[in-house]
Amino acid sequence: MSLKPGRVALVTGASRGLGRAIALRLAREGASIAVNYLEDPEGVNRQEAEAVASEVTAGGGKAIPVAANVSDAAQVETMARTIAGALGPVSILVNNAGILRDMTLKRMGEEDWQAVLDVNLTGAFRCVRAVLEGMREAGWGRVVNLSSVVGLTGGLGQTNYAASKAGLIGFTKSLAREVGRRGITANAVAPGFIRTGMLYTIPEEARTKILEQIPLNAWGEPEDVAHAVAFLASEESRYITGQVIGVNGGYYM
C-alpha cells in the first residue's frame, strides 16, 4: 500500500482504541495525521491524543492533536480550518468517533437515542461536509466510515447503536454515488468483536458464547481494522467505492 506525499488524514476519536491504531497505521504510510479527540474535564483525552501525535512525530511523521465534538457543527468546521492551516486540506477522512448507550428499547429515552445518532451518524455527516470541498478541488479523496457488525446483524439492547451504524452504511453508499466522478471514494469498514475497552463491557459469559461463533476462534485486534482502513485510504483502492468491508473473523458473512 502507498500514499502519495502530502496526504492529510483526519481520524476522529483517535486518542485511543481503533482510532489510535488507524492514526498510527496511516502515519506509517506517510500521511500527516490530525488526531481528533473530545475534550473532557480531566484532560485525559487530550493527554492521550498528544501521546498519539508524539508517537507519530517521533517516527518522523507529522501530526497534531485537535479537539472537536463531532456532535457540534461549529466545532467540526473550526477543526477543519485548524487542520488546513497546520497540515493542509484533509484528503483522507476516517469517521471513527462513536459512543454507546446500550439498553433495551423499553428503558431507552429520547436523549439516549438522539445522543448516539448525533455522534455516530450525524457526526460523520458533519465531518464529511466540512472537508469535502477540499477533496473536490484536489480531485482526490478517501472517506472511510467505521460502521459495525451490529449495523448488519442488530444487537440486543442496541437499537440506537445499530441504527446509527446501519445508517452509516446507507450514507456511505449514497456518498459514493455523489462524489465518485470527482476522484473521491467512500467506503465503510464494519468491525466485529475487537480487543478494545468496549469488548470488555460485555459480560464474560456472553463473550465466551460470542467467541464460539467466530470461525477464526479469536478476537480481532485494533491493527486488523487499521490495515483494512489503510488499504481503503491508499492509492491502490482507486476502483473500490460504496463497499462495506467486514473485519469480524467470519462472525458475519
pLDDT of the residue at 73: 98
Question: Are the CB atoms for 185 and 137 separated by under 8 Å?
Answer: no
Which residues constitute the domain of residue 171? 8-247
Asked whether residue 15 is assigned to any structural domain, the reply reads yes
3-state SS string for the chain: CCCCCCCEEEECCCCCHHHHHHHHHHHHCCCEEEEEECCCCCCHHHHHHHHHHHHHHHCCCCEEEEECCCCCHHHHHHHHHHHHHHCCCCCEEEECCCCCCCCCCCCCCHHHHHHHHHHHHHHHHHHHHHHHHHHHHHCCEEEEEECCCHHHHCCCCCHHHHHHHHHHHHHHHHHHHHHHHHCEEEEEEEECCECCCCHHHCCHHHHHHHHHCCCCCCCECHHHHHHHHHHHCCHHHCCCCCCEEEECCCCCC
What pLDDT does 2 receive?
A: 75
187: in domain: yes
pTM of the model: 0.97
Residue 192 lies in a domain: yes
- Under 8 Å between Cβ of 234 and 2: yes
| 96 occurs within a structural domain | yes
Residue 3 lies in a domain: no
Report the CATH number at residue 115.
Answer: 3.40.50.720
Residue 252 lies in a domain: no
Question: Tens digit of pLDDT per residue, the chain (253 long)?
Answer: 778 899 999 999 999 999 999 999 999 999 999 999 999 999 999 999 999 999 999 999 999 999 999 999 999 999 999 999 999 999 999 999 999 999 999 999 999 999 999 999 999 999 999 999 999 999 999 999 999 999 999 999 999 999 999 999 999 999 999 999 999 999 999 999 999 988 888 889 999 999 999 999 999 999 999 999 999 999 999 999 999 999 999 999 9
Q: How many domains does the chain have?
A: 1
Which pLDDT belongs to residue 169? 98
Q: Identify whether 243 is part of a domain.
A: yes
Does 1 map to a domain? no
Catalytic residue list = 161
Residues 37/46, Cβ–Cβ less than 8 Å: yes
